[in-house]
Chain A
């Protein structure tokens, strides 16, 4: 059973892991700069999911059967919906930072206060969706049904999986080069490494923090599109809860604060839980994911690649 499904599990894991990785980047970026675990990031992701969903609705798609639209039209619609989702999630992340975290920072609040605020903000956003949209998932809108494109060792690879894996990698490369190669990115790294010195050198810390949240939100919005393409039933108020926890685990697994770690962690987690559920049964999926996390942290407490957004290594 496990061996038969090995390649299918690997491919599924890579595609789902790419979504984890994109969300994990948001956790890792914020942690790298502020040493804050932004638990509300999962709700930023949900805002992205609803942004994508409402764009579908606004484009005239109705829940129910898969619409019959030519491929070019589908791609254009998906890109548009993804862009809306990214912008909404990005803006929401910046607003969240302004409303929830900046006032605390101004008052030099202890770190625990940030954590509690993050959890509180997460609940607030979640309940806003629950009250306004109810607790049933939004009706399914699926633009692109999965179809096998080719096979790897007998395991079918679908068009969705190809799109998701490639697009996620591309976004990762863009984010990574933004942080490592641009002037603004240098500011981000400088603040992560030593906020006081960076400020003395003329880096605007508040602006760097804003950019960090914006970038994390944009990536979460992109993840939201891929998620909704994979799981069309995903537009629901608590849809980000488990995924957010997994993405956070992925960030810690790879080394929180480390962009490449988030990517690696996401992919490993996605693959591992697919192997796990194949080996031990579906209800062991989450157990396997977290046992892996605990196991890695035991031997490498800073994660597989270490914490290093601020260090020279990145």
Chain B
């Protein structure tokens, strides 16, 4: 009897753990790496972290990176943290009168782990601005606290459209959101494949769900009749593979992250499904290519990020510092950090001052022109298509219109 009760209790614990893990999905958007074709060169008037070298600020002045460093989908966060660090280092080297400290806080990448580290950064009064958070789910979780603290944060990669609809005055998005990326991806697929049918497969993150919705809407219910669901951390996709085989679409759009995308595409290709595979920025990372072991070849990746290979000064400095080329969103993070550093150089010595500086900012970055609407969305939001070519992610084309 004791045994039986005990086993039942164990089953309950197990079930609870499963439910909890199911809820702990991350949200947000992703990273990657590129080369070749129609990549823009560095704009002549791009503002760089070094500024004019005349920056003056109080010793100890800090900006922070808050985002995943070791948690879920960490490769995305590391690429952002590195670029932020590079910007700060270049700034400090060029501006002897203003030495800015970079505080790095590991959010763990999920809504339930992000709040504590973010609060610690809020409590550190030396921090005037944040680059981050990278993912949408965690951004949603910490938004109210950052807003209450009046601490400006520029996300280089969180693309869930809802983030700018909360009335937060401190949240700024350094790239196009999924309401831009989704329809752009849909439009591109329509031009490329003239499809009768596309399977839209989504994971269970805020990011995946929002993006799948945007894509489905843009494609129309007829074309996107085939809808699949996968779960965060799922590794076995025979049901999804079967579903795709049944529907026999002209293309597959996967709304999610690279962790699940790699085994998914491998299992699709193993089963003989050769349908073109299109995925968003959350999949655009070298990890996707490596972990899919050859199966990723020929996949298309859409991203509101701008190809970086044309920004040679930046890519070389990054390569030198981190022994790897910049990844998805490195350039966006570099731009975001540059804007914060500009503000500090120009005398914004408090959180409200830096917030105002960002609000009224209007300048060219590496990736695009930065000027925000009152809700924190950019006015200019380019989307690009990338392609997996062998074991590399290369630039395919910009999505125009």
Contact = CB atoms under 8 A, between A and B. Distances in A.
Interface residues of A, number: 58
A238 interface: yes
Interface stretch (B14-22, B124-132, B348-356, B364-372): B14-22
B35 interface: no
A146 B271 CA distance: 8
Interface in A236-260: 238-239, 241-242, 245, 248-249, 252, 256-257
A166 interface: no
A189 interface: no
**Interface residues on chain B, size class:** 35 or more
Given A136-B74, A137-B259, A233-B263, A286 B231 contact: yes
Interface of B: 2-4, 6-8, 10-11, 14-15, 17-18, 21-22, 70-75, 204, 228-231, 233-240, 242-243, 246, 259, 262-263, 266, 270, 287, 290-294, 391
Nearest to B75: A136
A232 B293 contact: yes
Given A135-B74, A307-B4, A140 B291 contact: yes
A232 B7 contact: no
Contacts of A137: 259, 262, 287, 291
B294 A64 contact: yes
Given A137-B291, A282-B228, A9 B238 contact: yes
Contacts of A257: 3
B14 A139 contact: no
A301 interface: yes
Nearest to A277: B239
Contacts of B234: 282, 285
Interface string A249-292: 10010001100000000000000001001100111011000100
A171 interface: no
A297 B11 CA distance: 10
B3 A238 contact: no
A133 to B, nearest CB: 11
Contacts of A66: 293-294
Given A8-B238, A282-B237, A142 B293 contact: yes
A111 B270 CA distance: 46
Contacts of B246: 1, 4-5
Contacts of A238: 233
A145 to B, nearest CB: 7
Contact of A283 (B15, B229, B287): B229
9 contacts: A12-B238, A63-B290, A63-B293, A64-B293, A66-B293, A232-B266, A281-B228, A281-B229, A285-B239
A293 interface: yes
Q: Which of B15, B71, B74 has the most CB of A within 10 A?
A: B15
Contacts of B270: 145-146
A16 B238 CA distance: 11
Nearest to B108: A135
A126 interface: no
Q: Which 8 A-B pairs have the closest CB atoms?
A: A277-B239, A140-B293, A283-B229, A37-B10, A12-B238, A231-B235, A245-B14, A233-B263
B177 to A, nearest CB: 25
Contacts of B287: 136-137
B235 A8 contact: no
A31 interface: yes
Given A134-B70, A140-B292, A282 B3 contact: no
B74 to A, nearest CB: 5
Interface in A194-240: 230-234, 238-239
Contacts of A278: 239, 242
A273 B74 CA distance: 30
A303 to B, nearest CB: 8
Given A35-B6, A145-B270, A64 B290 contact: yes
A137 B288 CA distance: 10
A65 B259 CA distance: 18
A117 interface: no
Nearest to B8: A297
B293 A5 contact: no
B295 to A, nearest CB: 9
Nearest to B260: A233
Nearest to B269: A145
Interface string A40-80: 00000000000000000000000111100000000000000
